[in-house]
Amino acid sequence: MRLGADPCRKNPGMTEDQPAIRLLIVDDEEDLATFLAHRLRNRGLLVTMALSGAEAVSAAHENTFDVAIVDLKMPDLDGITVMEEIRNLQPFTEILMLTGHGSHDSAWEAGRLQAFRYLLKPFDFDDLFDLILKAAEHRRKRMSAKFEDQLESLMSSTTSPRDLIEECEKLRREYEQE
Amino acid sequence: MSMSRNRITTLIVGAGHPLAELMSELESQFSPPELPLLGVIDLDPEAKAAAGQNPGSDRISVLGHTLEDLSGDVAPELVVLAGCDEATRTALGRRLPDSLQLEHRSAPLLAIVTRLADENRALRADSRRLKEARLRLRQFVETAPLSIYIKDTDLRYRHLNQHALLLFGFDEESVVGKTDHTLFPSGNVRWLQNVEQETLRSGQTHYATGILPVRERETHVHVTLFPIVENQKIEGLYGLVEDTTDLFVSEQKLQQVDGQLDETQKYLREVLENSKDMIFLTDPQGRILTFNSGAENALGYPRDEVVGRPAHELCSTPGAFDKLFEEAILDGHATRYEAEFLDRNGDSIICNISLTKIDDHQGMPLEVVCLCRDITTRLRLKNDLIRSERLAAVGQMASGVAHEINNPLAVIDTIAGLVEETLAADAPQLAPETRDILMKSMNRLHYQVKRCTSITHSLLGFVRNTKTGMVKVDLEALLDECLNVLGIEIRRSRAEIVRMFSTELPTFISDPMLLQQVFVNLIKNALDAIAEVPDRAGVIEITTSGNGDHLTVTIQDNGVGIAKQEQEKVFDLFHTTKPAGRGTGLGLSIVHDILYRLGGSVRLVSEEGQWSRFVIELPMKPPETPLPDPTSMTF
């Protein structure tokens, strides 16, 4: 049974102790952004909408997102630039790139390497939802791996136990905020 | 000697004739030169009486001659007796030699003498003419531009004319009396000697041709030999010698030129024979006279089978050929860029044809040279290119449109999903029928969006500027992978897949992702064709083969087949024969496009209602310079 096949499940794939996925939808096609946000909120996601590249970047300044769905082609900033801006602010945010276009130019190629996945419009909603969950899970894994790495390097460093505790506390706060 | 040229007449005059009177009469009538012609013997009465008994008697009175003279050296040719009685005549006849011709005349003496003088004058004139004729003949022989010699029966030279002396390079004295043997000790003149001897033996005219080693060079001569016959006896022979050296040299030159001409002809024949082009000759009625090996190879007919047949039988449209042929007969030349010939199997061969009329020396049409170049492959390549370019243009536009449509489609689909979800959540407030019809509507909405999506996504496939990853490809593995991908569809259709793969195919360099797209599309196409004939057990036959140059894959199905007039169009964009909603008209266009870019090709052979076969050819390596990518431009 595919995830999300039952529209009544509000937040499938989420365990009790995990908070709702924070999602940013970036698309100049207002109808798509609006209705997609509506449906995803119905599935229990915390959705923020941005109708232009600039809006998306300012949203990323204000809030942290687990996943962002970004349209490749927008009038002000293209999707690749938007993705890079968000990544600069929030390195762990996973990007799902949406495009109505199949062309693979060099920007496409570059984007493909950075984005979690590319989706061709029109997409299957359930597929999209599935991908959002996978992207969020992927982000979580990346973060904990990084956290453990840093923790380990702190442990092996020569700082005093008091400093160490302080550093660990700092790191924990950092990641919790993320 | 001058006398001997005239007739000597002796007149014997009988007794009782007044001789003195006669003499004076003669002197008055005749000029002195004419007189000596006439010897007169007077028989006086006594002599006449004694003539029978004593012919040598002095009593015979003689004027000019004595009777004895008549049997001597100056014997006259004619002896006329005048006024002699029969007894005297008889007596004289007995005394004179038998060879003397005696003639008795009984006219008056003067009349007889006058008459004799006239006769003599006439004779002298004849003699003069004869003399002139002989002179002229001699002159002719001496000056004729023809070498003439005379030899005796021992084949010694008796005479040579000036020309002959000049030819032989001798003067007369050193030649006359000698044989060829002594004259030309070093040369072989046996050939002449033999014919000369034969001429002498047979008395017939003979001819001989050979070489005379005269003047230290080989002189080619033609000799006419005929015998000299005197008193029915062969006394020698005449030889007429023509110097044919110049003729001989010209002939040799002619032979040389002939030889060169033969060489040229041979060369031309070889060019004609070995040409890869089809070349044949016809008569002015269009019947085939010759047929080169190029034509044999291209059309599959052996020469013997077509010679004598009308050339238009080889064409798909004989009328068009006839028209072209007429044009060539009228104008001397006619060409057509694309003429269709049919080979022995009935397959079409497109040729560039050129007819040239050749006239005989009287300006009448002799034959027509037909030169045909097979441009089938070139034409196919050209059509491929045109098709690809057309695909590129249409594809670019289509993908642009597809992009614009994808956005609204995404909105529609998302809204449809939202309505569906809302319906499901808030169902209790609706009447079940309303809910059902709304649910069903949303379902159909999804379905229709999917239909649109399959078109727009296929269209975008054109523009997918796949960075062609050229790697070694194992054809068999690739085809099996394609069959795997289509596993569900194949099982559903219950089609039997017959794999006839050549066991020893080399790997080749190509793009496996693109090729997979090609084969998946073609196998899908075969499955669709089979689905249209539900009561026939479907079979898809896939074969592979290769030569060192390229690989060939055929994919054949026993499905619905494609009508002849549709076959041309199957690779055209948006052309589909499938029912509405089933085919997008893109699959085969993409196949064609991909193969073109990979340097390969695809052809369709089909029998309507029976089967279709796609023949895919792939190069062992992709083209060095990438073919113009019709879809490299992006929007």
- The pLDDT value recorded for residue B248 is 86
CB–CB contact B635 A103 (8 Å):
yes
- The pLDDT value recorded for residue B557 is 93
Q: Are residues A79 and A127 in the same domain?
A: yes
Q: Which range marks the domain in which residue A114 is found?
A: 22-139
A86 CB burial (10 A radius; 0-12, 13-18, 19+): buried
Q: Are residues A128 and A167 in the same domain?
A: no
Q: Are residues B134 and B47 in the same domain?
A: yes
Q: Are residues B546 and B580 in the same domain?
A: yes
Q: Which of B151-155, B418-422, B622-626 is the least confident region?
A: B622-626
- In chain A, how many H helices and how many E strands? 6, 5
C-alpha distances in Å from residue B19, one per residue of A20, B25, B42: 193, 10, 8
Please say whether the beta carbons of B596 and B629 come within 8 A: no
pLDDT tens per residue, range B579-588 = 655 666 777 8
Residue B542 has pLDDT above 90, yes or no: yes
Q: Is residue B479 part of a domain?
A: yes
Q: Are residues A91 and A159 in the same domain?
A: no
Q: Within the 90-149 window of chain A, which residues sit less than 8 Å (CB to CB) from chain B?
A: 100-105, 120-123, 125
CATH number of the domain to which B547 belongs: 3.30.565.10
**Strand pairing partners for A71?**
A98
The phi-psi region of residue B236 (left if phi > 0; otherwise alpha if psi is between -120 and 50; otherwise beta) is: left
Q: Are residues A172 and A104 in the same domain?
A: no
- Tell whether B403 is within 8 A of chain A (Cβ): yes
Residue with tokens 């950075």: A114
- Tell whether B407 is within 8 A of chain A (Cβ): yes
DSSP sequence for B536-560? S--EEEEEEEE-SSEEEEEEEE-SS
CB–CB contact B414 A35 (8 Å):
yes
Q: Using a CB-CB distance cutoff of 8 angstroms, which residues of chain A are in contact with residue B425?
A: 7-8
Q: Are residues B311 and B396 in the same domain?
A: no
Q: Are residues A61 and A131 in the same domain?
A: yes
Q: Are residues A112 and A158 in the same domain?
A: no
Confidence at B12, pLDDT banded by 50, 70, 90: low
Considering only CA atoms, which of B448, B425, B506, B423 is closest in space to residue B472?
Answer: B506
Q: Are residues B69 and B52 in the same domain?
A: yes
- Tell whether B412 is within 8 A of chain A (Cβ): yes
Q: Is residue B249 part of a domain?
A: no
Q: Are residues B281 and B331 in the same domain?
A: yes
Q: Using a CB-CB distance cutoff of 8 angstroms, which residues of chain B are in contact with residue A105?
A: 465, 634
Q: Are residues B123 and B151 in the same domain?
A: no
Q: Is residue B282 part of a domain?
A: yes
Q: Are residues B61 and B161 in the same domain?
A: no
In chain B, the number of structural domains is 5
Please tell me which of the candidates A29, A38, A123 has its beta carbon nearest to residue B418: A38
Q: Are residues B402 and B514 in the same domain?
A: no
The Cα B475–Cα B508 span in angstroms is: 8
Q: Are residues A50 and A98 in the same domain?
A: yes
Q: Is residue A123 part of a domain?
A: yes
Q: Is residue A6 part of a domain?
A: no
The Cα B450–Cα A127 span in angstroms is: 14
State whether the Cα torsion B133-B135-B136-B142 is positive or negative: positive
Considering only CA atoms, which of B400, B425, B377, B470 is closest in space to residue B635?
Answer: B400
Pairs of residues, one from chain A and one from chain B, whose beta carbons lie less than 8 Å apart: 79
Q: Are residues A112 and A57 in the same domain?
A: yes
Residue with tokens 């796949």: B466
Q: Is residue B122 part of a domain?
A: yes
Confidence at B38, pLDDT banded by 50, 70, 90: low
SS3 for B110-128 is: HHHHHHHHHHHHHHHHHHH
Q: Is residue B266 part of a domain?
A: no
In chain A, the number of structural domains is 2
CATH number of the domain to which A63 belongs: 3.40.50.2300
- Tell whether B401 is within 8 A of chain A (Cβ): no
A8 CB burial (10 A radius; 0-12, 13-18, 19+): exposed
Q: Which of B225-229, B313-317, B424-428, B601-605 is the least confident region?
A: B424-428
The Cα B387–Cα B505 span in angstroms is: 30
Please tell me which of the candidates B402, B414, B465 has its beta carbon nearest to residue A36: B414
Q: Which range marks the domain in which residue B297 is found?
A: 275-374
Q: Is residue B260 part of a domain?
A: no
Within a 10 A sphere around the Cβ of B444, how many other Cβ atoms? Answer: 11
Q: Are residues A79 and A108 in the same domain?
A: yes
Does this model's pTM top 0.80? My answer is no
Q: Is residue B627 part of a domain?
A: no
CB–CB contact A102 B460 (8 Å):
yes
Considering only CA atoms, which of B444, B465, B464, B457 is closest in space to residue B406?
Answer: B457
Q: A122 preceded by cis ω (within 30°)?
A: yes
State whether the Cα torsion B95-B98-B99-B102 is positive or negative: positive
pLDDT tens per residue, range B464-518 = 444 456 788 888 888 988 888 788 888 888 889 998 888 888 888 888 878 888 8
Q: Are residues B326 and B384 in the same domain?
A: no
pLDDT tens per residue, range A32-61 = 999 999 999 999 999 999 999 999 999 999
- The pLDDT value recorded for residue B237 is 93
Q: Is residue B632 part of a domain?
A: no
Domain boundary (B308, B340, B374) is at: B374
Q: Are residues B320 and B370 in the same domain?
A: yes
Q: Are residues B485 and B510 in the same domain?
A: yes
Residue B51 has pLDDT above 70, yes or no: no
A126 CA: distance to closest CA in chain B (Å):
10
Within a 10 A sphere around the Cβ of A37, how many other Cβ atoms? Answer: 20
Q: What is residue B79's DSSP assignment?
A: E
B49 CB burial (10 A radius; 0-12, 13-18, 19+): middle
Q: Are residues A27 and A103 in the same domain?
A: yes
The Cα B163–Cα B58 span in angstroms is: 60
Give backbone dihedrals phi and psi of A26, rounded to 5 degrees, phi first.
-120, 110
**B65 or B369: whose pLDDT is higher?**
B369
Q: Are residues B369 and B313 in the same domain?
A: yes
Q: What is the dihedral of CA A127, A129, A134, A139, to 10 degrees?
A: 140
Beta strands (DSSP E) in B14-75 are 38-42, 61-63
The Cα B341–Cα B306 span in angstroms is: 14
Confidence at B15, pLDDT banded by 50, 70, 90: low
Q: What is residue B287's DSSP assignment?
A: B
